[in-house]
Amino acid sequence: MFRKNRFNRVVERMREQKLPLRIRLLWDGTVLDLADAPQVTITIPAIASLRHFFSPTLDTLGHAYVEGEIDVEGRVTDVIEVAARLAAGGSRPQTGLYRVPRRVRHNRKMDAAAIAYHYDVSNEFYSHWLDPGMVYSCAYFRSEGDSLAVAQEQKIDHILRKLRVRPGDRLLDIGCGWGALVMRAAERFGARALGITLSHSQYELAQERIAAAGLTDRCEVRIEDYRDVTGRFDRIASVGMFEHVGCKNLRGYFGRVRELLADDGIALNHGITATNADGGGGDFIKRYVFPHSELPPIGLTLQEMVAAKLEPVDVENLRRHYALTLGQWAERFEAAGPRLRELAGEKRWRIWRVYLAGCAYGFAHNWISVHQVLAVKEGTASLPLTRDYIYND
């Protein structure tokens, strides 16, 4: 009775917020419309599940949905909007899907297991909502109407132009995914490209794609940890990988990039960054999506890069681009929902459904960001004085 009475007070607060929400209580058949024409329905199957609404956060609401303690109906973008407003009306401070992380020690075994958990769902799973090139990172939109495929190709070319990739350059892609960047670097820019990944699923498909494109003489993918790579490279790209490194390991990571970089080389780090000073990585993300991930703030990223004797020479914020990217991913994920449920199972489908749409909301509202940082070895002059070369083919 106490729990139900407390929930009634929560409902009154929701009414004051004018949330376009219907709540259905399965155990007694109660249906509560909190506004005219509700867009989202939350079904609560048991009294015990009411606890998730007493001091709600996006973490706790996401947990309740993934574990089947609540069900939701409605467009996923409306679901996230309602959840965010519901959380904002709660009594706990809100920081979105990301907040100050609990730091963990990273090692090769732990990092490989985390990558396998996230990426080795199945290649078909990702193919249904990524672009045809299977690029799993922030796209680059020259206009908001760009298709996902066009925007992803623009992103890859944007990176390769920033790096000033030339025919014959030895290029390393740390965390190469399914190989789109190394293939483009070899095919269009004439590079000799090596990509490394810890995902067996990514490696196998990348190998097939490279062979089918006739690029095996110029392009290679290996299963290899960045700490084990040997040799020197004229250009190094790392796209969507440093989030797995750990904040305490950034100096060592950037130091390794410096060791692998030729004296007149250029490196680019593209990664998600926290917008608060202490870093981010919420409980939902860490538990269900990216185990052991940490998001450094851009200030810490630059500080550790400098400490590793790399000189940042250009910094670009792509936050709005990632909001658009995730929005398209979420739409494609919804459209392929039945097949994705079959491939991944109910729980993992729920995880990815709220993760993609929730992150789109988070980037749009500046809870998290993403930066490209171009760097050279300390004190060298490997780039022209202006950015003009990026925009001129």
Residue 229 host element (H or E): none
The residue from 138, 176, 219, 359 that is catalytic is 359
Alpha helix ranges (H) inside 173-242 = 180-187, 200-212
Provide DSSP, 340-359: HHHHH-HHHHHHHHHHHHHH
User: How many alpha carbons fall within 13 Å on the CB side of residue 119?
Assistant: 26
How is residue 218 written in tokens? 């110029």
Q: What share of the chain is helix, strand, coil (3-state, %, to 5)?
A: 45, 20, 35
Q: How far is CA 71 from CA 49, 78, 83, 189, 224, in A?
A: 11, 14, 13, 49, 41
- 245 SS3 class: coil
Please give the angle made by the CA atoms of 272, 314 and 225, to the nearest 5 degrees. Answer: 50
Identify whether 359 is a catalytic site residue: yes
Alpha-carbon gap, residue 145 to 211, rounded angstroms: 33
Alpha-carbon gap, residue 247 to 272, rounded angstroms: 12
Burial class (CB in 10 A: 0-12, 13-18, 19+), 29: exposed
The beta strand positions in 47-147, using DSSP E, are: 71-73
Residues with catalytic function: 359
